[in-house]
Amino acid sequence: MSAPSVFSNLQYQFNKMLFNTSAQNYFEPIVEKYFPKHSLVNNKATIVNIHHEKNGMITITVQPNKKWNGFVPGQFVEIGVQINAVNYFRNFSISSSLNKYKNENLISFTIQKQFNGKVTNWIFESLKIGDRLTISEAKGDFVNSNSSSKVLYIAGGSGITPFKSMIEECVVNNVAVTLLYYAKSQQHIFESEFTALAKKDNVKIHLINTTSDGRININQIQKYCSDFLERKVFICGPNTMIEDAKQ
């Protein structure tokens, strides 16, 4: 057998081994150590920033590796962390804009600390810049892509997270959008970002204080978005708010 054919055969055998699942799992720790932005098995993301928001929430910004295929505003990712040698997975909505991903290869997700929540408590107490997470491909159909119809977004509490990305999509696509965002006094997150977005001609944002103004009701909807019957309506928040909206 000639030298080129021997080399080709060895290369074939190596590739065959490399793309075998069990072999990939074997080599994964080596790849993680020496090539931290790559993975043979999973999508990985490196934490580049952690920002503390109001209302016991943090925004974590990560840089996904090259295997990750992007997202549509409104979608979520499944985040994997290892706690005491046990893998845990939780879903979090992407709160950053599509342009941020396209231009900087960065995405953010905003997380609320849950009482007695093993994963969110660990995230708040243990994650640091430079750590790496396992992330799924983006999932979910809570999206308004490629539509020019006017929209009404209604959010309560941490349900605001997908809408931040979706509103920025409306700005890019020049879609008329109104946001009603319900939260307790001094607990609206992304306030400075929303103030800037509200300066756009096609964006109207109303931060509603549930402490003084109460929960969602038809009078508020008519007051802030009189043409709501002509719009596509998206709502995300506590179950009680969603039930109130249905009535």
pLDDT, tens digit, for every residue of 45-98?
999 999 999 878 999 999 999 889 999 999 999 999 999 989 999 999 999 999
In order of 116, 117, 132, 213, the CA distances from 127 in angstroms are 17, 15, 9, 37
What pTM value is reported for the model? 0.81
Determine the Cα–Cα distance for residues 76 and 225; give it in Å rounded to an integer.
27
Determine the Cα–Cα distance for residues 26 and 175; give it in Å rounded to an integer.
49
State which H helix or E strand residue 243 sits in.
helix 239-246
Determine the Cα–Cα distance for residues 63 and 46; give it in Å rounded to an integer.
5
How many residues belong to the chain? 247
Determine the Cα–Cα distance for residues 92 and 99; give it in Å rounded to an integer.
19
pLDDT confidence of residue 167: 97
* Phi-psi sector, 146: left (phi>0), alpha (psi -120 to 50), beta: left
pLDDT higher than 60, residue 216: yes
Q: Residues 162, 236: contact at Cβ < 8 Å?
A: yes
pLDDT confidence bin for 25, thresholds 50/70/90: very low
The three-point CA angle 122-126-132 to 5° equals: 100
Q: In this structure, what token pair is assigned to residue 71?
A: 């997202």
